Chains A and B, each alone.
Chain A
Amino acid sequence: MAQYVHKEHVENDINTTKPSLQEKVFPFLYRYGTLLVILLTVIGFSLANDKFLSYQNFTDILRSVSIITLLAIGVTISLIVGGFDLSVGSTASLATVTSAAALVLYRQETIIAILIPIAIGLLVGLLNSFFVVKVRLPDLLATLAVMYIINGLHLTFTKGFSIYNNMPLSEGGTAPGVFLPSFLFIGQGEIWSVPVPVIIMLIAVIVVHIILQQTRFGRLLYITGGNEEAARLSGVPVQRYKMYAYLLSAFFATLAGILLASRIGTGQVSAGAPLLMDGVAAAFIGFSVFGAGKPNVIGTFVGAVLIGILLNGLTMLNIPYYAQDIVKGSILIGALAFMYYEKKK
């Protein structure tokens, strides 16, 4: 076989012989920048407030990010196949309201109050995949439309009112059911002084991480997003994998919604809406963790934790909540700027 040296290789060799300071620092920041930011924020907040670095506060932070993380896992999976699911926020709202309605209005058991929202959530996932895969609408537009529809549906169902224990009914009297203790345990309970939502979140992160990294299913999800046409011509049923991604995304949004209902003990309307943006931010910050450069669950978890730490610490420092968004935005820009700068090179 013919011998030949390719040009790129030669140039690479020249580059590696004399790395400048910039060439050493940038890759390091690219890989570990996000973790460094977390470390610096923790140190900063600890110095500013001695109550920050305690077990109690630590579990508080994790508890507060657990719902966002679950939602963000869904967003991450939709990003992996090259899509984008904007409907996760309203799907979470829908799940919150349906599980509350099952308990309070229809006096159902806890297991029913979990299964019904999941079934409805999967229907939303099917609706998304129908528009994206069959009708071939662009992801953003299809899920935006579904977001509005789901939002309207759950508000119509509740007539705009939240669902709570002993609420008065329009036909007179009060609601027959209550939030059962076993349901509230999901969001408020603790096992060996670890909050249950944190346990659920950690299990979800680990299981999804293993599925994405070690199984054929996970590999093909990534491949579908990597180059849909090449994947299709290699025999990957890309349409089916896109559908799976939207089903999973809706499933995790539903989990987040159920957790939210049991955490606050009411069926708050539109409760999931503010979660969407935090979930998307966490997923995108996750791109930069360990220099992955692509959506990944561990990164998403780190991103959610970073947002949680910032919110917690800034609240402790009495920074008003509306100013905290400035910090969130800056962190997101920082993480993404590094990633795209590095990619362009």
Chain B
Amino acid sequence: MTILSLTSIQKSFGEQIVLKGVDFTVKSGEVHALLGANGAGKSTLMKILSGDYERDGGVITLNEKELIIKTPAHAKEAGIEMVVQEVDTALVSSLSIAENVTMNTFISGPAFFSWKKRYKVAQELLNRVGLHLDPALPLSHCSLAEKQLVLIAKAISRNISFIILDEPTAALSTKEAQHLFSVLRELQKQGVGIIYISHRLPEVMELSTRVTVLKDGYVTLQKETSDCSSEEIVRAMLGNELVELLNDEEDRILGATLLEAKHFSVPATNESVSFSVREGEIVGVAGLVGAGKTETARALFGADPSRDSIYMKGKKVRISNPQKAISAGIGFVPEERRKEGILVDYNVIENLTLPVLKQFTKFGFIQRKREKTEAEKWIKQLGIKTQKSSLLLNHLSGGNQQKASIGKWLLTDGDVFIFDEPTKGIDVGAKQDVFQCIKNLAANKKGILYFTSEIQELLAFCDRILIMYDGKIAGELNKHEATTEKIMHYATGGHYGTVRS
């Protein structure tokens, strides 16, 4: 029996303290689930254990002998392997499956290693994870689930005593997840200690023997899984913040239905969704990472077009590309601001007028004066803080960039605005401005679809909240009945009971 224990681990990045003294213990042969909301410190803790980060304080011991883990190589030596969430970053897709599985032999193996022997070793490892593929195939042939198993096979190619899995089922289908669980149970029988990070309560309840919940850098719950309920875990994840931000506004007056989706299929998730947005309504769409929010938003705007049509003001339109969406009256503020939302090498004016450049064009020529006057009007209205309107967006702060990303849709005067994580990485002041802007849109009878994983924001100003889980809309709550607990219940798949559907 091996016991790996971390005692009062501390870590901070600059001024921000991420871990404030965390105790965590894993024994061989147990599945220890680690849970927590976004930013609770799960990944940081595991990166310290796997040697990615160096801890600021605290002790790591293996069988009561102190361990020094400063680099990933140290962690590997101690028999700790990590299966990261983005499997592609840990594998080489241009090499064969066999080479990937036996990667460790390249680092510390004989200089010559016959292909015959490599295939044999790889085949054995693949059999252990139940993957029946020809090891000579290139890795690029594998599906995401298969790559994950390849990564596990690679991890167990050495004599390991502990394995960390970070959100392994985030992109897997139910069947693939079940297979992964059986592989993990097999490892568990062989005496490997498994640390299992997940957002999904049903699988945690099914698989784990012990649960640790982190919140804001502290441990808020540590128990045998059989002794606790999923409600208890949700409460531990949210802590004392159950006091809700009250919706201080009166009910908005809602008009006719603007956008309606009926069994609208989303290509990236292979699921379909049904919902509607009315005039003056702010509809929040909640969901944890991997729930399919961004995919749905992009499909609605035609960025990754769906084969199905939607109804705009009762009229059937098929959004096959973003231009169609814009002419149907839809605007979209994408999640990745710098990559998709704005042009950092262009100035504020050029960014704001881009979707409506035609309005400022006469005989093909841009009327720069009119363009500038109009843009400056909006810069003032949006509160974009810039010394002059001809400044490149690169020189603006994240919040002001986001305002430009939103602002360009105000010029189009559309009907429905789709926001995907609009407050990601912007400061508090800018957040308030963004909220105010969205409220103004609603007051002007626009329909808003607000996709976010920040539950507090949804409670603060949405009329209705849809909750996504696994690409589907798992639940719907109006603003009077919505609570953080209820949203988390749906977002973690709690409505399925303890069995993953």
Contact = CB atoms under 8 A, between A and B. Distances in A.
Contact of A216 (B358, B395, B400): B358
B432 A1 contact: yes
A229 B395 CA distance: 21
B365 A233 contact: no
A215 interface: yes
A230 interface: yes
A227 B355 contact: no
A223 interface: yes
Interface in B344-399: 344-346, 350, 354-355, 357-358, 361, 364-366, 368, 383, 385, 395, 397, 399
Contacts of A181: none
Contacts of B341: 230, 233
Nearest to B342: A230
A44 interface: no
A294 B344 CA distance: 14
Interface string A128-140: 0000000000000
Interface string B487-501: 000000000000000
B436 interface: yes
B400 to A, nearest CB: 8
A233 B366 contact: no
Contacts of A220: 357
A226 B326 contact: no
A7 B332 CA distance: 29
B441 interface: no
Nearest to B344: A227
Interface stretch (A150-158, A234-242, A262-270, A312-320): A234-242
A226 B397 contact: no
Nearest to B337: A230
What range describes how many residues of A lie at the interface? 20 to 34
Contacts of A226: 343, 345-346
A222 B350 CA distance: 11
A235 B354 CA distance: 8
B132 interface: no
A4 interface: yes
A2 interface: yes
B4 to A, nearest CB: 40
Q: 10 tightest CB-CB pairs across the interface, nearest first?
A: A2-B429, A4-B429, A6-B397, A235-B326, A216-B361, A234-B354, A215-B364, A226-B343, A235-B323, A227-B343
A189 to B, nearest CB: 32
Given A216-B357, A233-B301, A1 B383 contact: yes
Nearest to B332: A233
B303 A232 contact: yes
B340 A230 contact: yes
A1 B429 contact: yes
Chain B interface, DSSP helix/strand/loop, else mixed: helix
A7 B326 CA distance: 35
Contacts, number: 86
Contacts of A236: 354
B433 interface: yes
A211 B436 CA distance: 40
Interface in A271-321: 294
B350 A223 contact: yes
Contact of A232 (B322, B344, B368, B397): B322
Given A3-B429, A223-B354, A237 B323 contact: yes
Contacts of A214: 365-366, 368
Contacts of A3: 429
A128 B295 CA distance: 32
Contact of A235 (B339, B355, B365, B430): B355
A35 interface: no
A215 B366 contact: yes
B176 interface: no
Contacts of B345: 226-227, 294
A212 B368 CA distance: 14
Contacts of A4: 427-430
Contact of B397 (A2, A8, A223, A294): A8
Contacts of B334: 233
Interface string B421-457: 0000001111011001000000000000000000000
A7 B14 CA distance: 15
B433 to A, nearest CB: 6
A207 B238 CA distance: 63
A336 interface: no
A217 interface: yes
B397 A235 contact: no
Interface in A1-25: 1-4, 6-9
B409 to A, nearest CB: 9
B471 to A, nearest CB: 22
Interface in B268-309: 301, 303
